[in-house]
Structure formats: C-alpha cells, structure tokens
Amino acid sequence: MTTRPIASGGAMAPSKRQAVLIGVNQCGYDRQLPDLRYAESDVQALRGVLLDEDYGTFDDGNVKVFSGAEATSRDIKAFLREVVLSSGPSDVLLVYFAGHTLVPQWNDQLDAYLVTADLDPERLPREPDNGLRMSFLQRDIFEAFAGTSFLVLDCCQAGIYADADRRHAAAMQTYRTQVDRHSALLACPRGQVARESAEHGHGVLTHEVLRALRGEAADEARRVSFAQMAAFVADQGIEPPPVQWVRTYGPSTVLTQPPLSRHERQALNAPANPGTTRPCKNPLEDQSNSITQLLGRMFRRDNRPPHHDQQGGHADRVELLCHALHADSAAVVEFTGTDFAVLNATIRFDKETLRPMLEAAAVEALQHRTSIPGHVVSHGARRRMLCVPLSYADERTLALTVVDPGLAQLDMGEPLAVMLRAVWDSDPFKDPVQAEMAVLTALRTAFGRLPTTLYEYAFSLYQKLVESMIMVFQPVVELDLRASGVSIQSFEALARRNDRELRAPLAALWMAYDWGDRFIIERDAVLLSKAIHSYAEADAAAEWQGTKPLSVNVAVRSLLSDSYLHQVRKALVEAEVNPRTLTLEISEQDPITPGPGEQWPQEPLVYFHRRLTELSRELRINFAVDDFGVGHASLARMAELRLTQIKVDRAVLHHPLAVEELALVARVARYASDQGHAPQPRAVIVEGYDDEAPVSLRQIYDLGIHHVQGHFSGAVASTTLRPLDRTVQERIASLTRGEK
C-alpha cells in the first residue's frame, strides 16, 4: 500500500492513442474513376511516421491500416464504431483517408462517399448507407468519440466535410463539447480536386503532412501538434489551398516528437536570438485540455449521469464527480483518527473491499491535514484512490474519495484537487454557471494565472453569469416626524440572481476581483446598463410625477476605464435618462491606488479627485461614497473627494460607538457648507438598516441624518418603483419620534 500527495504534474500512464489509416487506389465497381498511384503507399508512409521508434507517439497495436481490396466500408465502419464505444475522455483518434470521393447527384451535394474497395454506386440510391459517408464520420464517429479526434482527407471534394459542418452549425451546438475536441485538415475546398505528385511519389497534401510530422513543423521542444502540422501544410502554397479548422485540442495534441540533430543541439546551446520572443510558459498550460474536458463533463447537462431526480444534494454531487472522473466509484468519508465512516457513496463503492486503502487514507489525513490539497493511495499496480479533504473539525476530516479515476484526470495532479473542492463548495445542479465560474476562480486564486484559452473562456462565462442577473430597486427613505413627510428620496439599483432572492449574489460579484480589471469593468458596465434600462421602464410605470434619483454601485477601477464611461453615456442616451438623476456609488472597500505597473502623476487621492471632477463635468452625473466604515474608509477620502452623498455601512450601526461615529460623519458632511465652500451639506444615508438595528431611527434623526436605506418597516426592494404605503409612513414617523 502506498500513498503519495497530489502533485502539480505527474507521470501516469498515457491515454490510448489510435490511428485508422485508409488508402484505396482503385474502386472495384466504378471503372469511370481513374486509378490512383500513391494512395495505398501513402497510408504505409504515414503509418511508418506514426510508429517511428525515434519520433512516433503511437503504439504498433493501435494503428489500424485498411488498404486496397481490404478497405471495405463494412469493415471500416465496424472498426471505427468499436473504437468509439470503448473510448474515454483522454483518448486520441486520428483518421486518415487517401483515395477518391463520390458525390451522388441525388443528394444535396453536402455529403460525399469516401470510395472504398466495395463501393457500388448503382446500389447507393436504394441503400445510401452502403458506403463510407462523410456524414457517418462526422455524426457517428467524431461527435460520439469521447476524447480528442482528428481527420485528414487527401481526396477530391474534401471540403464538403467542412461545408456540411457549417450548414448544421445550430444542430451541432448539441454536441459542442465533442465538436470542440475535433479538428480536421482537408486537401481542398468543395468542388475542387486533390492531386498526386509523381515528383514526390505521394499525394500533394500527404507529402506536406509527412514533411511536417518528420520534424519540419516542430516547435522549440521538437514536438509536432496537429495544429502545427496543419499550419505548416497551409503555408506551402498548395493549389487549390487546403481547408483546415483547429479546435480546442489541436494546438496541444502532439502527433510526433522528432529527436534533435547535432546541428539543432548546437543551436540550442548557442546564445539566444535577440529577434525572437516567446511568453513564459504557464504552469497549467499542459493541463489546459484536461481542465476544459473535465469542466464539460461536470457542467454540461448532456454529459451528466442519467438521473432525473438530482436536487444537488451531497449524494448527487458524489455521483456527478464519479461520472466526470470516469471513476469506478466514489464516496464522502469522514476520517477520525485512524477510523473512518462512509457518509455518501455511489452503488459500486464497497467499503470492505476498499478497507485497506481507506485505512491508509485515514493515516495520511491525520498526518497531513492541511499541508497538501489531496493524496493518492495505491494498492498494487491496479487500484488507486484519490482523496481530497473537504473540511476539518477537531480531529475529524471530511474527504471526497474517488476509486480508480481515469488516469488522464489523475495525472492533472493538484489542479484536480482544487477543482473538486470548488465543485463541492458550489452548487453544480441549481446554479451550474456560477458553480463552473467558482471552479475556474479557485484555479485562478490557487495558481495565479490561467492559460489564455481558459482565461478567455472564464471571461465569456463570467459575462454570461452577470448577464443572467436582474436589477431590483431599494428605496432610500427620507425620515420625518410627520407621516406625510416620510417619503422616498431615491432608489439604489441592486443585483439579484432572480426576483425571489433577497440578498445580493456577493460571491458572483466579488469573483471579479480575483480576475482583475477586465472582469471588474465588464461586471460594472453590464450591471450599469441593466440598471439604467430597467429603471427607465419601471419609472415610466410608476405612480408619481417626475423621476426619482438612481444610485448604481461602481468600482474605482471602472471609473478609471474609458470603456466603462462610454457605456455610461451609451446607456443614458438609449434609455433617455437625465444624467443628473444618476449617482455612481464608489465602494470604500476599493483601494484608491495605482494598479500593478501603473504610475499616477499625482498622489492617489488628488489624482482620483481630479478624475471625478472631470467626469462630473463631462457626464453631468453625481458620485457618492458607499460602505463608509469598512475597508479603506477614511476621513480624508470622505472629505476630499467630489461627492454628493455619503453612505454609511451597516457595520457602523453595530459598533459600540455607533452614535459617536455617525455624529462624526454628519459633521464631516456639513464641513464644506459650514466653511462656505458648498451651497448645502452632503446627504448622509445610513444603509443596511433593519428592525433589529441597535441604533434607533430617533437617534439617527437627532444627529441630523435624515435618510435611511434597508429592510425595515415595509420598505423593500422590488423590480418596480412603488410609493410607500400610508401605514408604512406612519410607522416610520412613529419610530422617528421615538415611539414604541
């Protein structure tokens, strides 16, 4: 029995890599097609490259050749379907065809037959599936293959394969995950012909493919991926030009890895060429494809285990993670000392059979409770158990245990443990978009930076998450001793996941800070646009004359972004809202400091004050301090920035010196007007007020603070703008007078 911690990378057994190579020089039935000279020898040449002892990456038993008279559609289709049915998410499939194509006149010209030795054109109108169709490869092979797949067609009319894919783009969205794993290189566009070269003794496309795979397309590490091969071929000036598309896994799936020559070794030891640059490699770059694939299995509904009653409970999450990892079984286990108890388990999880491994995991959990994100227990060469701690309490450790997960997933190492923990802490059933974003954010915070493809995917996913939110409007109530004087002074737009939620989706909103300015600015721009457009519609249906002011939250970094300010202008114009009614609330939880690498020409507060002055003049909007009393709150910020109002965080209400703090804020708000520098004091708003607050409305009112916001006395947030009910006005006035 052995245990090892999960590492950032591993050296586990590689996934299954299979190649199916088809070459036919002549058709046994249709003598109108001229014989080809090199299709069958091209297959053997490609086989030799893939199996080459020095640079091939395929094993002999996993390269299947169908050549000449043995290349029948029946045998080829049966073999390919067997490959598909036994495929796993880490497998790789390469299909190559060299030969003729046949485009029947009776179809829609967007499907073609790859001519095999047994193809009989006269039978096709009555038996259209009695041949090897491009649509069969697309629908029944590549869309159904669980792993990463590649196609190379060296034949006439090869581009039909790509055109048919585009025609069915909407339907193909159903298979998005599978299609993203598929790339293709096609000898020519639809309606064009491929050629053979007597000079080279190969098909023209195949000649360039062989050159690429033998090392002419290799990167600095001497690896040739499908994407590098396709790009090399496309750059050779072939006429007609080849058609290629390279999806998610094309750039990173290596087909060959030629050795270094003496000349190349000398070049590597020579001084670096000052004219070349390359980015520093991201530590997760090699895991990018596995991460993307695992996300798809966890969060795409069509990839989930076939249950109809999943409610998102612990048992369902265990089942989901077991399925996503291609594991034999899984369970949540509580380890106490060297003992253990199984809490939630899939059907195949056999506690007694697994007892030796669970006991070893218990010892490991006791010794390394918080020092490692997970560990793997091995029992001989065949069985492995992945253990990921989920929570700790006293001497107890709650852990997810996964029995015999797919080796490709296990090879991810530490990133896998981070992802599983994040899935467990989220809700992949009720809110899959936010849960998937939480997993990506966990990777971001754990490793600092994600590969570009994952980063861009996370950005699009976060856009989708923010776009799904709605805006509700919480009234700011003006206090008065008289019921008739109690009224709504303004509204604040607040984000919610749906109209049933009472609280803000703080986890989703604060994710942006883990990703940086681009995410923060996008979040604020989307929510501002939603707020202004929704407010304009609600205001048009309101039961009063005129328009109440509107407040919207904004981050400091967004106010420094021209793209965000463009969105402010655009939304105000589109919704026909007077800019003077808009106040942007700047959170005190945001530091006013330059970003990494930035240099500001003045001290931060001076620079930011000038920025707000310019924006106020150009946009004619107002600014306020939000959340005063927490984060980076300071009297300097409150006194020096160009603000129309100050919003005091609810945390101040629950401070032992709450009344003294509120009195100080009120004096600062009056300071400018007392000195004759402003026509009137800045408004002070106490937010987050509720009926349980330890400071009374009477105390707040007596301090000269006449505006309160929160859930109290029936003043609630809503998607509509409603005046206060008379009974609510009377109750608030009574509390303001100090009456019980």
Residue pLDDT, tens place only, 106-153: 665 578 999 999 888 888 888 888 899 998 998 899 888 888 899 999
Residue-wise pLDDT for 28-57, tens only, equals 666 577 889 999 999 999 999 999 988 888
Q: Return the CATH number of 294-447, one of 1.10.10.60, 3.30.450.190, 2.40.30.60, 3.40.390.10.
A: 3.30.450.190
User: What is the b/e burial string over 706-739, where b = at least 16 CB atoms within 10 angstroms of the residue's CB?
Assistant: bbbbbebbebebeeebeebeeebbbbbbbbbeee
Name the band, by pLDDT with cuts 50, 70 and 90, for residue 507.
very high
Locate tokens 């991460």: which residue?
Answer: 291
Give, in order, the Cα–Cα distances in Å from 32 to each of 27, 100, 191, 577, 594: 9, 11, 18, 73, 74
State the amino acid at position 473 in one-letter form: F
Task: For domain 16-269, give the CATH number.
Answer: 3.40.50.1460
Instruction: Give the model confidence (pLDDT) of 428-471 as tens digits.
Output: 988 899 999 999 999 999 988 888 889 999 999 999 999 999 99
- For 54, phi then psi, to 5°, come to -85, -40
Q: What does the pLDDT read at residue 330?
A: 93
Cα 474 from Cα 488, distance rounded (Å):
10
The stretch 62-80 carries a mean pLDDT of 94
Q: Which is it for the CA torsion 257, 258, 259, 263, positive or negative?
A: negative
Q: Which two tokens stand for residue 534?
A: 């929704």
pLDDT bucket at 493, cuts 50 / 70 / 90:
very high
| CA–CA gap between residue 419 and residue 436 (Å, rounded) | 9
Quickly tell me which residue has 């950032």 as its tokens.
8
Q: What is the mean pLDDT of residues 633-641?
A: 54
Q: How far apart are CA 733 and CA 740, in angstroms?
A: 11
Instruction: Report pLDDT digits (tens) over 246-278.
Output: 876 677 788 988 776 555 555 545 555 555 566
400 neighbors 6 (Cβ within 8 angstroms): no
Question: Which residues touch 586 (CB under 8 Å, ≥6 apart)?
Answer: 554, 555, 556, 559, 623, 624, 625, 626, 641
Q: Where are the domains of the chain?
A: 16-269, 294-447, 471-736
Q: What is the pLDDT of residues 315-347, one digit of tens each?
A: 889 999 998 888 889 999 998 877 889 998 999
pLDDT band at 87 (very low <50, low <70, confident <90, very high): confident
Residue 573 pLDDT exceeds 90 = yes
Task: Tell me what the mean pLDDT of segment 592-598 comes to.
Answer: 83
Q: What percent of the chain shows pLDDT beyond 70?
A: 86
CATH topology of domain 471-736: TIM Barrel (3.20.20)
Q: What share of the chain is helix, strand, coil (3-state, %, to 5)?
A: 40, 20, 40
Q: For residues 220 and 226, is the Cβ–Cβ distance under 8 A?
A: no
pLDDT averaged over every residue in the chain: 83
pLDDT, position 178: 42
8 Å CB contact between 646 and 683: yes
The reported pTM is 0.66
What is the structure's pLDDT at 452? 86
- How much is the average pLDDT of 556-561? 91
Q: Which residue has the higher pLDDT, 724 or 176?
A: 724
Given pLDDT bands bounded at 50, 70 and 90, which one contains residue 299? confident
